[in-house]
A and B are shown apart, each in its own frame.
Chain A
């Protein structure tokens, strides 16, 4: 993907020089191979620092909220999956179309250094991708992985290489990971558990939470001026976990709040410092919405109303919906 980085640098310079953008959102390299950080570039000279590789998972769209507030025309590099978040932000009126220029940026799936570490690659020094082979150089020797084993969870269920919104597309589209399984398999597995086991599962998961709010802050659907969890007047304000029950409610409410608006990008689960399987809560809502009210993909466009602000007169009743679940 080095070639793409070069294209991005050239594009950023072109957009800044032509005045099409005052600011460009892209990635800057970090200390290691994998810790690229989102960064804003407004200076043409700095654009050569733009990097792009298999470790640019974050969606830059969320920074457009600030760009819209500053009324600064901002160019943003978007991977195909990122464009869903952009549409959702547009739908939620959090960003304005006139203030951003979307550059579709090809992606062939992002890698997860945490998975590499879990598979035994301690102290990663460098990563090289050779097709489906990932070669990881560590302080304790070289390791080799199959790409599918170290793909980010969210990339395993890739939505494909189409951009849902883009002013232009950079280079050729890349082949994205093919997902043929059932994206709800994990949800179904939990549904199939007996009630006590389900409860125990979530107890174990959610008790890991340290209430850092990273899941919320990365989420393209969580874009409120003030989150209810930060609002002392709201019933659920709270900083740290008082006990496990509070965590359950925090995560339930967090997932509920984005139900119908969650684009299923999986970022919440990716950023969780404690590895809580948060994405499953969101997926559960997506699954239920699809089953109860018809298939819906948030962020596929910027206009279709969310299932939670629409209705049909023959919608299933709560109990009925529960029983209907396959």
Chain B
């Protein structure tokens, strides 16, 4: 026989002013299993709680119903109170007779009647409450940051500074990412490398940071606090521990037909190469597809010239396994392919370039040592056209529906420093809208117009033609004047849309992190949990979550780090006990549940189960990982056999409430 105690709170006059609390007490006393019922002025007060505890002792109560304010206010209070007297906190139910009753009703009789019904429903539910115990799981005090760009570096540094071990995983031979390629940063026009490379060095030197470059994620399993990760360290063909980074091999390499990725194809690199001078680690890598030794077996120049004998053609990919408590995704972005924008002439004329190529052209460490020249002619341009929104805000299958956010500002930046360095060069920016929200941003763009005389034309470039002499003609319209324009610039710069890194989708499925239709990672809540993925223990940093500029990326990196630190600081994770639970006896193993779980918390496990007949049988059943499950209940409805139930909100509990209210 259950012994339910019902405690009706007055909340001063908040409840008692509209609800006849004494009548509620009298009514619930008649309900079977209710062993005690009482009302009190402030049930949440110390006195009120003492009254509950005394009643538990005196009447031997084993489950409690508190008729009071919203559970969002004091459920935790009453649960704690129950726990202190030896009742499992989950044996408490709240009937919300304030927000749902006394505050929305005026008539005392009506409000009292509703309060009684709400109490009845809570009593009906509490009959089926089971003691629940939060699970505990250990937290591995190590984080993994996937991506070694500014987002990843900043996240790693912040975590490492807090005293936790961090590994950075970078697929390229060096960390640094896109920011290393950029010449100057808006809105201050300071040198990108000057602010990035110290951070790269900090990361490399940090005792808590381990960097795995030229490496990829191979496999992930586990859950928040306990991820098991396998990393594939691709073969560099160079023994990193003995290489001095002198670079002689890269100079002597005879295979020089490969366009440099770092220089956006504006010059070639050797088959053995270091992407850029400040690369970290400063260890070359052999591109086996380009290397003559690997292709033909003849060559071996690098091995001969290497003073330290660090070249190793036999090196193989290495698999490392490591445990992590948290994983940060900082996989960054790429530019879209321009294949579908043939009319803009990219690929047909060398003088039509992307903004990223322009960065390399103006960069002192770039292929032209910072001299702005037309790639086709090697001559300085006399006029430059910059085209914004190439592929952004484009709902056709050619482009991306979103605004890439950074282009308006870097277009202004590009225009401004071209005009600054080459005052005779005419710069025209074609735009649809100029979007410059941000501190000092609009002022920056206006300076480009007002101080540097950049022409801003509202209208889009239709096409860029190139005649047989390589002269460019830009067709555009000036929407403000309604004029059709034909320009003959020497250089056309396309501000093309950004998109998430290619492997974002693959990583998302490995990590069960959700992605949106554009492959950007989805945050746990767009407003309130912007740096967490919906999967516990997976965090988001930088462009991989959506277009953002460097300051935003760095702040998000810090925020993600803070979340990671908060997680790693815990010795154990208390898991929400209201998790889904599978009745293995009747689970058919169809695993429909796994398809709707947003957290990848359910998996099919082949195990021996006791069947309905009492026999033993080996079959696949759904198993819920309590550490991952957040208790939404999507699986319970997807489950055709109702073998999946949600603790704390079981089918029986909810139906008992339904029955009580109808």
Residues of A at under 8 Å CB distance from B? Answer: 69, 92-94, 223-228, 231, 233-235, 257, 261, 305-306, 308-310, 313
Contact = CB atoms under 8 A, between A and B. Distances in A.
B642 A228 contact: yes
A92 to B, nearest CB: 4
B385 to A, nearest CB: 37
Given A93-B604, A228-B640, A233-B652, 19 more contacts: A93-B588, A93-B591, A93-B620, A94-B588, A94-B589, A94-B590, A224-B590, A224-B640, A224-B641, A225-B588, A227-B641, A228-B641, A231-B641, A231-B642, A234-B642, A235-B655, A306-B595, A309-B592, A310-B595
Contacts of A94: 588-590
A309 B595 contact: yes
Given A226-B612, A233-B652, A235-B655, A92 B592 contact: yes
B588 A224 contact: yes
B591 A225 contact: no
For the complex of A and B, 7 pairs with smallest distance between CB atoms: A224-B641, A309-B595, A92-B590, A226-B586, A225-B588, A228-B642, A234-B642
Nearest to B584: A225
B619 A69 contact: yes
Nearest to A305: B595
B596 interface: yes
B638 A93 contact: no
In the complex, which range does the number of interface residues on chain B fall in? 20 to 34
Contact of B587 (A223, A225, A231, A261): A225
Contacts of B590: 92-94, 223-224
Contacts of A234: 642, 651
Interface string B600-644: 000010000001100001011000000000000000001011110
Contacts of A313: 517
Contacts of A225: 585-588, 611-612, 641, 643
Given A225-B612, A226-B612, A235-B651, A309 B588 contact: no
A93 B591 CA distance: 7
Nearest to A310: B595
Interface of B: 517, 585-592, 595-596, 604, 611-612, 617, 619-620, 638, 640-643, 651-652, 655
A107 to B, nearest CB: 28
B608 to A, nearest CB: 13
Nearest to B597: A309
Contacts of B592: 92, 306, 309
Contacts of B643: 225-226
Contacts of B612: 225-226
Among B595, B619, B642, the one with the most A-chain Cβ atoms within 10 Å of its Cβ is B642
Contact of B638 (A69, A227, A235, A309): A309
A97 to B, nearest CB: 14
Contacts of A226: 585-586, 612, 641, 643
B659 to A, nearest CB: 9
Contacts of B588: 92-94, 223-225
B649 to A, nearest CB: 14
A172 B356 CA distance: 61
Contacts of A223: 588, 590
A93 B603 CA distance: 13
Contacts of A92: 588, 590, 592
Contacts of B596: 309
Contacts of A224: 586, 588, 590, 640-641
A73 to B, nearest CB: 17
A257 B588 CA distance: 14
A261 B586 CA distance: 19
A74 to B, nearest CB: 17
Nearest to B658: A235
A40 B437 CA distance: 74
A306 B592 CA distance: 9
Contacts of B642: 228, 231, 233-234
B604 A231 contact: no
Contacts of B617: 69
A305 B586 CA distance: 23
A308 B651 contact: no
B517 to A, nearest CB: 8
B395 to A, nearest CB: 13
A21 to B, nearest CB: 22
A316 B660 CA distance: 33
Nearest to B617: A69
27 contacts: A69-B617, A69-B619, A93-B589, A93-B590, A93-B620, A94-B588, A94-B589, A94-B590, A223-B588, A224-B590, A225-B585, A225-B586, A225-B587, A225-B611, A225-B643, A226-B641, A227-B641, A228-B640, A228-B641, A231-B586, A233-B651, A234-B651, A306-B592, A308-B638, A309-B595, A309-B596, A313-B517
